[in-house]
Amino acid sequence: MKRIKLEVVQKLFLYFFMAAVIGWCYEVFLEVVIYRWGFSNRGVLFGPYCPVYGVGMLAFMLCFNWLMKKQLKWSIRWLRPIIIFVGCGLVATLIELTASYLLEWITGSWPWQTYADYAINFQARIALSPSIRFGIGGVLFLYLLLPLFDKLTGMLSKSARNWVSGIAAGILVADLVTTMLLR
């Protein structure tokens, strides 16, 4: 069995962290600009990140990175984004459902109970409309953000990558411990 290199783990962690921050920004944008509910911290932790988006991004990479790299015949190449859209929507919806049960078990509730107002929902935990947005987000992530993340992490020297990933991990762990102690 191959040993996983520290560089790969650090890059994956930084991808996770960047996706979690972007996910938090997306959630706040929806809440403030689209729905006009006003600002609230959309994450389950204190900091400006939603770890579930980082988990989703890693899951998208695990499930669909091979398809992104696969050489396809010209006649069926147009199917790739459709397959990725549907697949990402399904994967993200499963993650969201699992996260809702996990958060309810740990904290007594989950932060997106507003799905009860959606026409097609399951136990107000998941709904069709967000699942479609997750599919679109997965396509955008794999086609646009992942190459950008690759470029950004590739620009870091080994020392800088060690520092940045160490500081980000420290912040996340401190936030997690603080959040769990104050709940």
Contact 122, 97 (CB under 8 A): yes
Hey, what are 35's tokens? Answer: 């729905």
pLDDT per residue over 125-150, tens digit each?
Answer: 899 999 999 999 999 999 999 999 99
pLDDT, residue 69, reads 84
Point out which residues pair with 127 in neighbouring strands.
121
Q: Which of 14-18, 73-77, 143-147 shows the lowest per-residue confidence on average (mean pLDDT)?
A: 73-77
DSSP designation for 44: S
pLDDT of residue 113: 66
Give the pLDDT confidence score for residue 157 in this predicted structure: 92
CB 51 within 8 A of CB 45: yes
pLDDT at 1: 45
Residue for token pair 């783990």: 9
Q: Please tell me the pTM assigned to this model.
A: 0.83
Spell out the alpha helix ranges (H) of the chain.
6-29, 51-69, 79-107, 128-140, 146-155, 158-182
- Closest of 109, 108, 111, 113 to residue 124, by C-alpha: 113
Q: What average pLDDT score do residues 76-83 get?
A: 87
Task: Give the strand pairing for 121-122 and 126-127.
Answer: antiparallel
Mean pLDDT, range 158-167, rounded to an integer: 94
Q: What confidence tens digit (pLDDT) does each residue in 85-111 have?
A: 999 999 999 998 998 898 888 877 776
Q: DSSP letter at 32?
A: I
- Give kind and range of the element (H or E) at residue 122: strand 121-122
Q: Which residue has the higher pLDDT, 108 or 28?
A: 28
Q: What average pLDDT does the segment 7-29 reach?
A: 92
Is 55 within 8 Å of 19 (Cβ atoms)?
A: no
For residues 167 and 13, is the Cβ–Cβ distance under 8 A? no
Nearest to 68 by CA among 133, 9, 146: 146
Distance of CA 73 to the CA centre of its chain: 31
DSSP 8-state symbol, 141 = I
Cα(124)–Cα(107) distance, integer angstroms:
17
